[in-house]
Homo-oligomer: A and B are copies of this chain.
Amino acid sequence: MNGNFVYNNPTKLYFGEESLGYLAEELKCYGPTVMLSYGGGSIKRNGIYEAVVAQLQAAGKRVVEDAGVMPNPTYEKVMEGCRKVRENDVDLILAVGGGSTIDYAKGVAASAYCEEEPWEKYWVKQGNPTCKTVAVGAVLTMVGTGSEMNGGSVITNRKAGFKLGKVFGPALYPKFAILNPRYTMTVPQYQMVAGFFDIMSHLMEQYFAGKADCTTDYIAEGLMRSLVHSSRIAAKNPQDYEARANIMWTATWALNTLLKCGKGGDWEVHQIGHAIGLVTDATHGMTLASVSLPYYRHVMGDGLHQFVRFARNVWGVRPEGKSDEEVAAEGLACLEAWMREIGVVMHSGELGVTEENLQAVADAVLILPVGYRTLTRDEVVEILRESM
């Protein structure tokens, strides 16, 4: 553990098949008006919408409908949500959905009463709210982003030409999150598997940083082992409750600030993935999957000790008679085999990256100076080409 840091995560998690039952208790803590934010209507088909609305009605709440939150939520939609919040004097934004919906809800919660331009203030300049903010609660229906227990809010602004993340402080974390593994079981296989890789990417992007021995890395290894084990089961049988429950819990802990304690992070794969998402509108987790192997093979030599550790402790690679480079490469080969087994997209070409838009993607990549190796623009292009 290096340096000084603060850990504070006040989000209350309700986990399990009966967890929606706790919503009534939580609703007592907030005023009469609840904005119900959700996506394209799948929650109406699978019964979750009805179950949530029944609880809201039983609690005597006035419900402000806020449907149509898209994957890769846009700044325009955030502005629309802000207007609804102000016009209806909303007391609680209840996000029912996956990371996109919860990220969106946090963006609205911070922006509704912001007196400056929120995009500039939060996402470009990474400032913090100085205005009144709105409470957010979450009912999670798709796992991956960890948004249910953190301050992350990734928003796409096509006009500005960027998909940017802002990490808000604990005051903007969901006050509570309801985690019912059954609610994640109607997600299509493609989205489910994309979420699995998003989790793995959160774990790896925090793991592949720093040189010190750090307890945090041991926790990350445990979470990776659990994820690999359960995702193999869930990819074959999405209805396996135990596997889906373990994955849901792993996703939450993979990105709730614990795994950055006492160490840095890399996050370049997320930057490249965001750029691909901006240009192609591809599913977030798949954008990460498509570039991870080229990226990690590119920087492996710069953080060799950690790639060796990854191979041994996550994948059980035996080191006897092998060079560090061979052990590290074997670890990445295990990662690749697992990716193929669960069925993620292995090439960015399948997501719509072409020779024609390659430079546009590269232009949208933020290069962070925090990983084992700071990429040049040429290296970004090289990795993107290899990923195609």
CB-CB under 8 A for A249 and B1, given A213-B229, A229-B213: yes
Chain B residues whose CB sits within 8 angstroms of the CB of A9 once the complex forms: 9
Chain B residues whose CB sits within 8 angstroms of the CB of A242 once the complex forms: 1-2, 212-213
Contact: B223 with A219, CB < 8 Å? yes
Write the chain B residue with the least CB distance to A252: B7
Q: State how many copies of this chain the complex holds.
A: 2
How many residues of A are in contact with the other chain, CB < 8 A?
46
A381 within 8 A of B: no
Q: At the interface with chain B, which of A11-19, A99-107, A294-302?
A: A11-19
- What is the minimal beta-carbon distance from A109 to any residue of chain B, in angstroms? 19
Per the bound structure, the CA–CA distance linking A319 and B144 in Å amounts to 34
- What is the minimal beta-carbon distance from A305 to any residue of chain B, in angstroms? 15
Contact: B246 with A214, CB < 8 Å? yes
Chain B residues whose CB sits within 8 angstroms of the CB of A8 once the complex forms: 10-13
A63-79 vs B, Cβ < 8 Å mask (1 yes, 0 no): 00000000000000000
A29 within 8 A of B: no
Chain B residues whose CB sits within 8 angstroms of the CB of A215 once the complex forms: 222-223, 226, 230, 246, 249-250, 253
Most buried by B among A7, A16, A22: A7
Contact: B1 with A6, CB < 8 Å? no
Per the bound structure, the CA–CA distance linking A3 and B19 in Å amounts to 10
Chain B residues whose CB sits within 8 angstroms of the CB of A12 once the complex forms: 6-8
Contact: B246 with A261, CB < 8 Å? no
Chain B residues whose CB sits within 8 angstroms of the CB of A3 once the complex forms: 16
A332 within 8 A of B: no
The B-contacting residues of A in range 235-257, CB under 8 angstroms, are 242-243, 245-246, 248-250, 253
A221 within 8 A of B: yes
Write the chain B residue with the least CB distance to A219: B222
Write the chain B residue with the least CB distance to A177: B7
Please name 22 pairs of A and B residues whose Cβ atoms are closer than 8 Å in the assembled complex, sorted by A: A1-B15, A1-B245, A1-B248, A1-B249, A2-B242, A4-B15, A4-B16, A6-B15, A6-B22, A7-B12, A7-B13, A8-B11, A8-B12, A9-B9, A212-B242, A213-B229, A215-B223, A215-B250, A215-B253, A218-B223, A221-B222, A245-B262
Known: A1-B248, A219-B253, A220-B222. 13 other contacts (CB 8 A): A3-B16, A5-B15, A7-B13, A8-B10, A8-B13, A213-B229, A215-B223, A215-B246, A218-B223, A221-B222, A222-B222, A245-B262, A249-B261
